[in-house]
Structure 1
Amino acid sequence: MYITSRIRRSVVLATATLVFSAAAWSDAVLRTVPSSDLKILDPVWTTALITRNHGFMIYDTLFAPDEKGLIKPQMVEKYTISADSKVWRFSLRPGLKFHDGSAVTSQDVIASLNRWGKRDVLGQKMYAAMDSLTAEGPNSFTIKFKQPFGLVLEALGKPGPLVPFIMPKSVAETPADKQIDSMVGSGPFTLGKADFRPGDRVIYRKNPSYVPRKEQASGLAGGKVVKVDQVEWVFLRDPQTQTNALVNGEIDMLEVTPSSRYPELRTNPAVEMFDVVPAGTFTAIYNHKVPPFNDARVRRAAMLAINQEAMLRAQITYREFLKPCASLYLCGSVYANEKNGLFTGKPQFEEARKLLKDAGYDGKPVVVMLPGDVPALNRLPLVYGELLKQAGFNVDVQTMDWASLLTRRTKKDPADKGGWNVFVTYWGGADASSPVSYTPLTGHGDQGYFGWPVDAEIESLKTQFIETADLTKRKDIAGRIERRALESGVLGPIGEGKSLVAVRRGVVSGLLPAPTVVYWNVQKQ
């Protein structure tokens, strides 16, 4: 179990709707420490979770998952599906506007989807099955498929990187391999250039022109009613500094409770903790482009060096917030299989050394990137580096800030020429529960996730997964994808972890269970 019953009861309190007059919160400024620093603003250009979270602040989506994971209309008012499931027609809600006051139109939607579809794994699959995407007037559009595509709503409402956020057409026409330079969005908050201060803070202001849905907010769906004047993301790297700032009232909220400060915060009467974000998975990413990880035997050796228990305990410390999981998918999800026969989560050094010998590994150092300014990730690479040494690798752990890691992971050069070999990242549980939403589970080469694995069998199986709606068949296909990915060492499963959100007791309320921390419905008293 991840959490105590006491914290579970807090969730109920957190999600209860409290009634305040407008005057009670109209001038509120909510100050929070996010999960990491925000350096990249384009949520289609990078899979960084902090950029995805930024996206949900200033953009809206056509569909979104509610608290139960059901996909619900968001910017879409209504839609119809033809009898053969090949023609989907959508109408936008009236009154939708961008931050500059211009109306959201079907042309904006088409341009936004086109750009997203060039970079997102599931988007690429949807576009491959698509015959056309056309506007039917200013507020309606139609998608026609060559054959039925069973994950239309899941694609348009996916919560994890990359999200099909709706941008103005002029912005969305930016080439997919180039970052956007506009902050004009469609969502409940606005961001001005003067309010973006990397390394210090980002100030999001309530969008007075935003038209929320009438339904109650649920997960990432429903009415995104903003109840504070502005939200400030304040970047504090040191866990003790974060803790002191919360206890002293200098900030109102920590998105991620530092594991090293958990006992201190748990017992502090001025602090309340909430379990609102589900568990996710830590993943080792290997660079398939350059030696030595261009050899599947070397990748398998690195995967077999993983000691999930040791790595998770070093990073998370407390048993209730970690869970070793031998499945590639999130344990407990519909496609999870811990008895896959290929990976146990426990180190197999002898087998790893044999694989390295068979591959002819020459002892050249492998570069493991460590994000020193991300407390939620920065212990895993150190432990993994030591485990890789025990497996026979020559390891060079290089410390850098998260923004530098995000930039460096785009490079396909050898590690000794500014490239990389390994890094560790984190994926939300909803993303890691399906082979078509788990972004690093790819065989799409240069068009796929960083590390750029090439595996035609995985991509073929994904297509089969999409084309069937039969759950039994999907489970079988998902298992075959998992086996293939583990055999070829596409990525390394490290296990699951979660954290609690910590807030000033009696000051912050209205937190919603969702795939990420969301700031609509949140009140500051």
Structure 2
Amino acid sequence: MTLRSTILAALLGAGLALPAAAQSVLRVVPHADLKTLDPVAVSVSITRLHGLMIYETLFAWDSGLQPRPQMVERWSVSEDGLTWRFTLREGLRFHDGRAVTTRDVAASLRRWMARDIVGSRLGDALASLDITDERSFALVLKRPFGLMTYALGSAVGAIPAIMREEDAATDPGRPIATTIGSGPFRFVREDWMAGQRVVYARNPDYRPRSEPADGLAGGRVVKVDRVEWRNIPDASTVAAALQSGEIDIWEQVATDLVPVVSRQRGTVVDRLNALGTQGMLRPNSLFPPFNDPRARLALAYIVDQAEAMAAGFGDQRWWRRCEAFFVCGTAYGSEAGSAPYARPNLERARSLLAEAGYRGERLVFITTNDIPWIGRMAEVAAAGMRQAGMNIDLQYNDWGTVITRQPRKDPPAQGGWNIFATGASGATMFHPLTNIGTGMACDGRNWAGWPCDEEAERLRLAFIEAADEAERKRLAEALQARLAEVQPYRPLGQADMPYARRANIEGMLPSPVMVFWNVEKR
């Protein structure tokens, strides 16, 4: 059997029939299978990617992570910073043909503010959301919120996707199953095969903005008829399919295959953006021992970033050490307070664990091999923790199970967990407003792990409310130093996430999330 026939057999065996030759089809292997369709219900990368295909947001981040108007035509803010007025673009329509109105916007924003870390901060400052007419509305604040447009264009966490009013008005705690947005692609439900294939078709009624595409902002001009996501778990099969042209884009190349794929004729390996991904080890602060910050600090003395990064990402040209919670090389990328644990110190770790009252109890470490670099980092972290005398139960699940276990607050012995390894995009982590791991509010509404520290949260909120950039930088430095003491998570370093494409694929946009408008096949 030839290589081509082997690949075709594998693809067709997975139910991935090739479309008609007359269509321009972009075939993509994403980093994970799509399980949750609601981009407001979960802060999972694959669901966010899906959400940006079919929904739009009021604003959008450009390649420099600056907010630009997307669904909004014009906006203004009062001199006291308390009243923001917005007018929607003309011609916005949902996939079912209905016009997008401010009633849809109001319901969508309320749902997002009830679910998302960024949204909740805006919600805390909001006095009222007032509808003027079908296209105009106002957000009236109790106190200034200078990051308004940045928040309304958020491409991290649970995105502020604008949905139909009846969808957005449902219980925010329950994911919706409908997929009717107003974006440049529509979800082709009849072609969706869970675990195998996700299909999107060009929305012929979509009217893009007139500005050039720039990151997530500007004109979202679709240049292909269909985009098919294909779930092919075996990395070697993906590499072979890319070489033969059976797939066009591999969103995250397996690190051990980067050298192989780089040498393939007709294949390009590249970076999507300059900020990469931050690896992280997230402990559960609800239960011993990690409810004590001394036990969390012990992790900083246990895990060597270089070992974790090398295991996860291989060649050092794809990763770097970085102790900055807000990402090295960015405006807020200070490493203040982290010098003492730049290298492992197991003796100090054991002492801190003893002070925290740890006596060898079993600790549940949940992880996955579905995303290989996560599993490899977890193995390195678990090995270091065992060396420090910790009793680690490393439990492997599929990625869908891991992300459904993460939000559970059950005791570890009853289906909960003590710790997990993961990563988040630099675009998420570089900013104190959007960094999902550094929210330490003591109300239990922060991200899975639920650490509580009033001083860290005071500094973070002061940053959000700061009036100018100089003050934000000063507060970010102070916040970094405090986080280094209380360790809401252990940064594992910073890595580029190389993607690969066929050489005939043009128009890939530098962006915090991979997008498929502006992309064409030559």
State the match for 2:48 in structure 1.
52
State the match for 1:70 in structure 2.
66
State the match for 1:440 in structure 2.
437
State the match for 2:403 in structure 1.
406
One-letter identity of the residue aligned with 2:118: L
Deviation at 1:250, TM superposition (A): 1.7
State the match for 1:13 in structure 2.
none
Deviation at 1:291, TM superposition (A): 2.1
Q: Give the SS at the match of 1:451.
A: coil
Is 1:374 the counterpart of 2:368? The answer is: no
Q: Give the SS at the match of 1:446.
A: coil
Is 1:128 the counterpart of 2:124? The answer is: yes
Residue among 80, 90, 97 paired with 2:86:
90
Measured against aligned partners, the alpha-carbon deviations of 1:380-434 in whole angstroms (never above 9, x if no partner) come to: 1011100111222111111111000011112111222111111112111121111
State the match for 1:191 in structure 2.
187
Provide the C-alpha distance between the structure 1 equivalents of 2:98 and 2:157, rounded to a whole number of angstroms: 27
Residue among 174, 196, 201 paired with 1:205:
201
State the match for 2:7 in structure 1.
none
One-letter identity of the residue aligned with 1:411: R
State the match for 2:424 in structure 1.
427
Report if the CA contact (8 A) 1:277-1:514 is conserved. Answer: yes
Q: Map 1:98-497; keep pairs closer than 5 Å.
A: 98-278=94-274, 279-341=276-338, 344-444=341-441, 445-497=443-495
How has the CA–CA distance of structure 1 residues 399 and 69 changed in structure 2, closer, same or farther, with 3 Å as cutoff? same
Measured against aligned partners, the alpha-carbon deviations of 1:67-123 in whole angstroms (never above 9, x if no partner) come to: 222211000000011111111100000010111111100111111111111122221
Q: Give the SS at the match of 2:299.
A: helix
How has the CA–CA distance of structure 1 residues 215 and 343 changed in structure 2, closer, same or farther, with 3 Å as cutoff? farther
State the match for 2:6 in structure 1.
none
Provide the C-alpha distance between the structure 1 equivalents of 2:119 and 2:502, rounded to a whole number of angstroms: 40
Provide the C-alpha distance between the structure 1 equivalents of 2:389 and 2:478, rounded to a whole number of angstroms: 30
One-letter identity of the residue aligned with 1:63: F
Deviation at 1:464, TM superposition (A): 1.3
Report if the CA contact (8 A) 1:88-1:144 is conserved. Answer: yes
Report if the CA contact (8 A) 2:281-2:492 is conserved. Answer: yes
Provide the C-alpha distance between the structure 1 equivalents of 2:422 and 2:29, rounded to a whole number of angstroms: 19
Report if the CA contact (8 A) 1:237-1:375 is conserved. Answer: no
How has the CA–CA distance of structure 1 residues 226 and 499 changed in structure 2, closer, same or farther, with 3 Å as cutoff? same
State the match for 2:499 in structure 1.
501
Root mean square deviation of aligned Cα: 1.5
Q: Give the SS at the match of 1:283.
A: strand
Which stretch of the first structure deviates more once superposed, 233-242 or 513-522?
233-242
Provide the C-alpha distance between the structure 1 equivalents of 2:455 and 2:206, rounded to a whole number of angstroms: 45
Q: Give the SS at the match of 1:379.
A: helix
Deviation at 1:457, TM superposition (A): 2.2
Deviation at 1:370, TM superposition (A): 1.5
Percent identical residues: 40
Report if the CA contact (8 A) 2:129-2:140 is conserved. Answer: yes
Report if the CA contact (8 A) 2:60-2:154 is conserved. Answer: yes
How has the CA–CA distance of structure 1 residues 81 and 517 changed in structure 2, closer, same or farther, with 3 Å as cutoff? same
State the match for 1:80 in structure 2.
76
Provide the C-alpha distance between the structure 2 equivalents of 1:425 and 1:378, rounded to a whole number of angstroms: 9
One-letter identity of the residue aligned with 2:517: W
Report if the CA contact (8 A) 1:200-1:234 is conserved. Answer: yes
Is 1:522 the counterpart of 2:522? The answer is: no
Aligned length: 500
Provide the C-alpha distance between the structure 1 equivalents of 2:108 and 2:207, rounded to a whole number of angstroms: 20
Report if the CA contact (8 A) 1:369-1:422 is conserved. Answer: yes
Q: Give the SS at the match of 1:288.
A: coil
Runs of 4+ in structure 1 off by over 4 angstroms are none
Q: Give the SS at the match of 2:76.
A: strand
Measured against aligned partners, the alpha-carbon deviations of 1:190-247 in whole angstroms (never above 9, x if no partner) come to: 1133233221010011111111101111100000011111100001122111101111
Provide the C-alpha distance between the structure 2 equivalents of 1:276 and 1:208, rounded to a whole number of angstroms: 27
How has the CA–CA distance of structure 1 residues 159 and 358 changed in structure 2, closer, same or farther, with 3 Å as cutoff? same
One-letter identity of the residue aligned with 2:319: L
Residue among 27, 32, 50 paired with 2:23:
27
How has the CA–CA distance of structure 1 residues 242 and 345 changed in structure 2, closer, same or farther, with 3 Å as cutoff? farther
Which stretch of the first structure deviates more once superposed, 72-81 or 346-355?
346-355
Q: TM-score, normalised by structure 2?
A: 0.93
Report if the CA contact (8 A) 1:356-1:392 is conserved. Answer: no
Report if the CA contact (8 A) 2:456-2:483 is conserved. Answer: yes
Provide the C-alpha distance between the structure 2 equivalents of 1:250 and 1:214, rounded to a whole number of angstroms: 33
Report if the CA contact (8 A) 1:304-1:352 is conserved. Answer: yes
Report if the CA contact (8 A) 1:26-1:228 is conserved. Answer: no
How has the CA–CA distance of structure 1 residues 490 and 28 changed in structure 2, closer, same or farther, with 3 Å as cutoff? same
Measured against aligned partners, the alpha-carbon deviations of 1:19-76 in whole angstroms (never above 9, x if no partner) come to: xxxxxx9820111100111111111111111111111111011001112222110000
Provide the C-alpha distance between the structure 2 equivalents of 1:294 and 1:217, rounded to a whole number of angstroms: 46
Gaps in structure 1 of 5+ consecutive residues:
1-24
